Chains A and B, each alone.
Chain A
Amino acid sequence: MNPLVPLPLLIPLAAAFLLGLLNKRCPRWFADSIAILAASATGVVSLILMHESALRPIVYWYGAWTPRSGIALGVDFYVDPFSAGLAAFVCLLALASFIFSLHYFDSVGNLFHVLMLGFIAAMCGFSLSGDLFNLFVYFELMSVAAFALCGYKTEEPSTQQGAINFAVLNTIGAFLALLGLGMFYARTGALNLAQIGRTLGHDSGVLVVTSFVFVMCGLLVKAAAFPFHFWLADAHAVAPTPVCVLFSGIMVELGVYAVARVYWSLMDGALAPHRSALTGVLLVVGTMTALLGACMCFAQRHIKRLLAFSTISHTGLLIIGFALLKPGALAGAALYLIGHGAAKGALFLVAGILLHRCGSIDEAHLYGRGRKMPWTGAVFVLGGFGLVGLIPFGTFAGEHAIEFIAERNHQGWLDIVFFLAVTITAAAVFRVYARVFLGRGTRLSSGARLKTVDERRETSGPHNHVPAVMFLPAFALGLLAIAAGCIPGETHAVLTAACAFADHAGYQARVLEGAFLPIQAVASEHAPLLSSVLRSLGATLAAIALAVFAISPAWDRGRIYSRPFARSMAFIRRLHSGRVGDYVAYFAFGVAAIGIALAFLIAS
């Protein structure tokens, strides 16, 4: 048993406990250093685990309750390069947030650090857990920490609205997943993922499919898939900027990861004859999410809300990557996750810098006010290139891998979905760059064309320069977004890990028999690079062209001629009503639609 395995959970929890105990009795610098130390230590441990599990996944049984004759008795952590890598990525983003927030939140003691550390611990546990009920517990721990962080700025009414929408929708999702989990337990008498998977065998009866739909829909709420995504933009608009980095960069993506984990470890045997049904349903969900998020993203002028909708769009692309149910596409999704998380983190941190310098987050109010910050603007553009998937960003490598698999499986139309989603979201970012950092193009009327939320500054002290502790994390994340696509041998290593991840029988043997199964190196097929490069350059040019068009006077004139488009956009925007009751109604509708569609496709 590897003694390092529980540490990604224990270190942040212990640090949170210590800081919670001391609370206001310890100085601010002490809390900061403990938090940064804990995040770095957890990150290093996770990286070591990722390295050690690269050849052979590690199964850690708490209290040494190992399985007896193939029956799981205890609770396990399953460490493979994916789970450990996600834990490491959590810590890296958390580190950037902690450094960025060094002079944030002066008045509230160390509550922020305690909540953040609890959040980190929950996300690490969520990635590593090999037990369905523990997955639910970490899901809830992660959610509760996130709700509290989201509602952190208590003096604004919009904050509570965003936090309540977030909390209610995610909690209902969690209970739906719990019902599904209970149904799995009723059917199999097991809670361990491998054990449930083995007991289910090839049973794809009504009970099993319903349980899976419940668990999947619960997790998809976290993943902000259409039509469960409504909470995300509200939560991001009001959450403090350093928290947004974690929300957008990793928490939402963990929802997709958990669906993938549950599918491959638990349902792959049962649904093996019906894969195309699940692929079909999830491709529709992913496509809707990607396109709707992109349109909503372009329509925003509240920069954090704009970035939040872009996260929805890109999560839709991740769902597409998983929906193909092929290891190659899964590897692409993993690369995409890292590349997108880093780029989005950098973009949010720049939004935080704008809020610090100018006291506003509205594209209209900020017109031309970023001209004195060329370097900050450069990081913003870098993030934009990350979103569009320009070569050599991590998103390019991911998109390249997913599209290759999609074309081979006769789903070539997904190229168009990718192209539209990345072009529109990046164009929104470039448009903001041109208006805010270059001061070019038409001015938005600062009046009431749409209701905006005025954010108060989150920082105190002088606002006439960009502090290094704010700029450097943003810059580092921007570089990471590039580096994620340039590490030599990376694609092959990720593909190997993805093949082990998608090995249903191998997972069970490793967990339940403790079988010594090394990860088989797989021969990666060389996808034609040239067409992907051309597509990436094309998407970049299209995004820039669309941004230029959007800030030209022709855009405002064009609005008159495109009534049907404007009307449908207005309709979509009305759907995002900000009322939690509406969102819950859409949620119920979504669960029913996904369940009926899947049942229909399986039966036919």
Chain B
Amino acid sequence: MSLLPYIVAVWLFLVGLYGIVTSRNFIHLVMCLAILQSSTYVFLLAVGYRIGAGPPVFANVPVGTPAVDPVVQALLLTDIVVEATVVALLLSFAVQVHRNTATLDPEKVVELEG
């Protein structure tokens, strides 16, 4: 098993985190969150992948044929649904922010502090 997907997953997580920390635009921030989440996709797929294995469809194949792990793929689908919901909700908040304050800069809409 190659180490590359894990390195990519860690890279995506960190780069997403960096983007969120330094973001000056809510839309950009939400996209960084989506990138951060895609690290979990890569990671989960890497966990379940086996070199030389086929898809986890067990019709018309001899018993014992290697297949990739279908469980992580199910987790991944759930993960995608979760991400779509969260991103949609956050984007709607961003639209509301823009409607109310005519800016998308997190620095300029700070009303709660201290």
Contact = CB atoms under 8 A, between A and B. Distances in A.
A297 interface: no
Interface in B26-53: 26, 29, 33, 36-37, 39-40, 43-44, 47
B32 to A, nearest CB: 9
A581 B20 contact: yes
Given A573-B114, A579-B107, A155 B93 contact: no
Given A167-B90, A182-B47, A579-B106, A234 B13 contact: no
B21 A585 contact: yes
A286 to B, nearest CB: 24
B30 to A, nearest CB: 8
Contacts of A156: 100
Interface string A583-602: 01100100000000000000
Contacts of A574: 114
Contacts of B100: 155-157, 160
Contacts of B109: 157, 160-161
Given A137-B78, A144-B86, A171-B86, A578 B112 contact: yes
Nearest to B37: A175
A578 B113 contact: yes
Interface in A130-171: 133, 137, 140, 143-144, 147-148, 151, 154-164, 167-168, 171
Contacts of A179: 9, 13, 39-40, 43
Contacts of A144: 82, 85-86, 89
B106 A167 contact: no
A172 interface: yes
A574 B90 CA distance: 26
A178 B113 contact: no
A567 interface: no
A164 B27 CA distance: 11
Contacts of B17: 172, 584, 588
B93 A182 contact: no
A238 interface: yes
A191 interface: yes
A185 B71 contact: yes
Interface in A186-232: 186, 191
A193 to B, nearest CB: 16
| Among B22, B78, B86, B111, residue most surrounded by chain A Cβ atoms (within 10 Å) | B111
Q: Is the interface of A mostly helix, strand, loop or mixed?
A: helix
B13 A581 contact: no
B75 interface: yes
Contact of A171 (B33, B71, B75, B106): B33
B111 A578 contact: yes
A168 B90 contact: yes
Contacts of B107: 579
Contacts of B86: 140, 143-144, 147, 167, 171
A451 interface: yes
Interface in A554-598: 573-574, 576-582, 584-585, 588
B110 interface: yes
Contacts of A578: 110-113
A238 B100 CA distance: 15
Nearest to B111: A158
B73 interface: no
A453 interface: yes
Interface string B78-114: 1100100110011001101100110000110111111
A480 interface: no
A576 B113 CA distance: 6
Given A151-B96, A154-B96, A577 B113 contact: yes
A584 to B, nearest CB: 5
Interface string A498-540: 0000000000000000000000000000000000000000000
A580 B104 CA distance: 13
A155 B97 CA distance: 9
Contacts of B111: 157-158, 161, 451, 453, 578
A185 B96 contact: no
Contacts of A154: 96
Contacts of A299: 114
A580 B106 CA distance: 8
A373 B44 CA distance: 57
Contacts of A151: 89, 93, 96
Contacts of B114: 299, 450-451, 573-574, 576
Given A172-B20, A178-B79, A581-B21, A164 B43 contact: no
A168 B23 CA distance: 12
A476 to B, nearest CB: 31
A183 B113 CA distance: 37
A143 B86 CA distance: 9
A39 interface: no
Nearest to B23: A581
Interface of A: 133, 137, 140, 143-144, 147-148, 151, 154-164, 167-168, 171-172, 174-175, 178-179, 182-183, 185-186, 191, 233-234, 237-238, 299, 305, 450-451, 453, 573-574, 576-582, 584-585, 588
11 contacts: A137-B78, A151-B89, A161-B110, A164-B26, A164-B93, A175-B13, A178-B40, A182-B40, A581-B20, A581-B23, A585-B21
Pairs A-B, 9 closest by C-beta atoms: A158-B111, A578-B113, A573-B114, A157-B100, A186-B47, A578-B110, A160-B97, A581-B21, A578-B112
Interface of B: 9, 13, 17, 20-23, 26, 29, 33, 36-37, 39-40, 43-44, 47, 71-72, 75, 78-79, 82, 85-86, 89-90, 93-94, 96-97, 100-101, 106-107, 109-114
Given A175-B13, A584-B21, 15 more contacts: A140-B86, A147-B86, A148-B89, A151-B89, A160-B93, A160-B94, A160-B100, A161-B109, A167-B90, A172-B33, A183-B47, A237-B112, A299-B114, A584-B20, A585-B21
